[in-house]
């Protein structure tokens, strides 16, 4: 088996696992948190950020049992997910830049390693966000300070922005790869 095919198979399996893991959170743990919070969106899904007052209101609505579930179940699952998505997106980037054909007019190292750096930077921001959310969950809602909530919100926004940029980059690389593969097939 050619290396490209092996990496492609691994990337496809990794993508399937990532989507499955995401589905467990999106359709399992997160709806439970939303319901406990009276329909309010969990903090980590507020991609545009949130104010300290909104964070406190969410924590009050969530209640002690909901906060325990968020910390004990959702954030345990979310301790694994960032590594999974960063690894999967990096594999996809590597697959799309094999042979460097998709990197024409872009420095090869930037083209190959840029998406990987972005994926793992988003992962690190996601982990920082999780630790800040844990801090908020562990204190009384009224004790959550503006600085703590503001930093957690910033991590959420930065993570979302990096992932959006990465998906656009991967989309462009994917289109470029598809054009190259199509041209080769027609030749």
DSSP letter string, 17-32: HHHHHHHHIIIIIHHH
Using a cut of 0.85, tell me whether the model's pTM lies above it. yes
Task: Flag whether 97 is in a domain.
Answer: yes
**Residue 187 placed within a domain:** no
For residue 80, how many other CB atoms are within 10 A of its CB? 10
Q: Which residue segment(s) compose the domain that 20 sits in?
A: 3-180
Q: What is the pLDDT of residues 76-124, one digit of tens each?
A: 999 999 999 999 999 998 888 876 667 777 777 787 889 999 999 999 9
* Domain total of the chain: 1
Task: Indicate whether 26 belongs to any domain.
Answer: yes
Q: What integer best gives the mean pLDDT of the chain? A: 91
> With 90 as the cut, is the pLDDT of residue 6 above it?
no
């Amino acid at each position: 088996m050619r290396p490209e095919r092996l990496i492609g198979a691994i990337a496809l399996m990794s993508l399937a696992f990532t989507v499955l893991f995401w589905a467990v959170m999106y359709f399992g743990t997160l709806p439970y948190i939303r319901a406990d919070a009276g329909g309010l969106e969990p903090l980590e899904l507020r991609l545009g950020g949130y104010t300290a007052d909104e964070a406190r209101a969410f924590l009050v609505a969530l209640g002690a049992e909901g906060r325990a579930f968020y910390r004990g179940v959702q954030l345990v699952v979310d301790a694994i997910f960032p590594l999974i998505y960063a690894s999967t997106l990096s594999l996809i980037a590597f697959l799309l830049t094999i042979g460097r054909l998709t990197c024409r007019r872009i420095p090869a190292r930037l083209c190959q390693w840029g998406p990987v750096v972005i994926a793992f930077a988003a992962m690190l921001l996601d982990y920082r966000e999780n630790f800040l959310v844990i801090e908020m969950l562990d204190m009384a809602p009224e004790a959550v300070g503006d600085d703590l909530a503001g930093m957690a919100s910033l991590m959420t926004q930065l993570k979302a922005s990096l992932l959006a940029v990465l998906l656009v980059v991967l989309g462009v690389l994917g289109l470029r790869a598809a054009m190259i593969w199509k041209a080769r097939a027609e030749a």
